[in-house]
Amino acid sequence: MRLNLGLKFLSMIAALTLVAACETVPEDTGDSSGSGATSQASSTTGSTGSSTSGTVVNKVQPGSQEDLVLNVGDRAFFGFDKYNLTAEARSTVERQSAWLKANPSVTVTIEGHADERGTREYNLALGDRRATAVKNYLVTLGISSSRVASLSYGKERPVALGHNNDAWSQNRRGVMTVN
């Protein structure tokens, strides 16, 4: 895996948060509370309980959702009513692309999400735009489109429950989930 040290460090923070916040990777990944490899995401996933042991990290199966969340970052974030990839989102997707190349048998779904500050139907369309933006960039980076499905949840599956800019910025996201 071609991760630099800085990313590994961030991933460790994410991992420690995740141990507490996300004991199992939910099957309905629309609810995934997995954390991105950015401090913005990892600081707000509602960590309770004490962080523990690196053994959990050691058990991670390469190519699994956990592996993706811990070592790569499963999600890219978007601006309000936007679906273009920011520089930060692009670098997340680039890592995801490298990870998909390292795990060639893995297929994924990109879930597009919107914050609550839009109407239902519009947000479904916006979520589709966001999922597609991530998918298209992965394809540009050399991932076969047959490995990447997309799905919009609109505003139906927020991860942050507040009614403020911080919560909304976490909910405007494209999340990669391993099929």
Partner 1 sequence: MSNLARKGSLVLSSLFMFAAVSLPAHAELVVDITQGNIQPLPVAITDFHSATEVAGLVGQKIADVIRADLERSGLFKPIDKRAFLQKPKELQTIPVFSNWRKIDAQGLSTGLVKALPDGQLYVEFRLWDVFSEQHLMGEKLITSPTNWRRIGHKIADKIYERLTGESGYFDTRYVYVSESGPANRRVKRLAIMDQDSERHQFLTDGSNLVLTPRFSPTRQEITYLSYFNKRPRVYLLNIDTGQQEVLGEFPGMTFAPRFSPSGNQVVMTMAENGNSDIYLMDLRTRAVKRLTKHPGIDTAPSFSPDGSQITFESDRGGRQQLYVMNVDGTNPRRISFGRGNYGTPVWSPRGDLIAFTKLTGGKFSIGVMRADGSQERILTEGFHNEGPSWAPNGRVLIFFRQIPGRRKGEEDKVRLWSIDLTGYNEREVISPRDGSDPAWSPLNSE
Q: Which residues bind partner 1 (CB under 8 A)?
A: 30-31, 33, 83, 109, 116-122, 124-126, 128-129, 131-133, 136, 151-154, 156-159, 161, 163
Helices (H), the chain: 5-21, 39-42, 55-59, 65-71, 87-102, 120-140, 165-171
In angstroms, give the least distance from the CB of 177 to partner 1.
10
- 73 or 154: CB nearest partner 1: 154
The DSSP secondary-structure symbol of 81 reads T
The DSSP secondary-structure symbol of 86 reads P
Amino acid letter, 128 = D
- Could you tell me the two tokens for 149? 């499905």
Q: How far is CA 122 from CA 119, 130, 175, in A?
A: 6, 12, 19
CA atoms of 73 and 92, how far apart (whole Å): 7
- 1 or 161: CB nearest partner 1: 161
In angstroms, give the least distance from the CB of 32 to partner 1.
10
- 33 or 64: CB nearest partner 1: 33
Beta carbons within 10 angstroms of residue 70's beta carbon:
23
- 26 or 63: CB nearest partner 1: 26
In angstroms, give the least distance from the CB of 3 to partner 1.
29
In angstroms, give the least distance from the CB of 107 to partner 1.
14
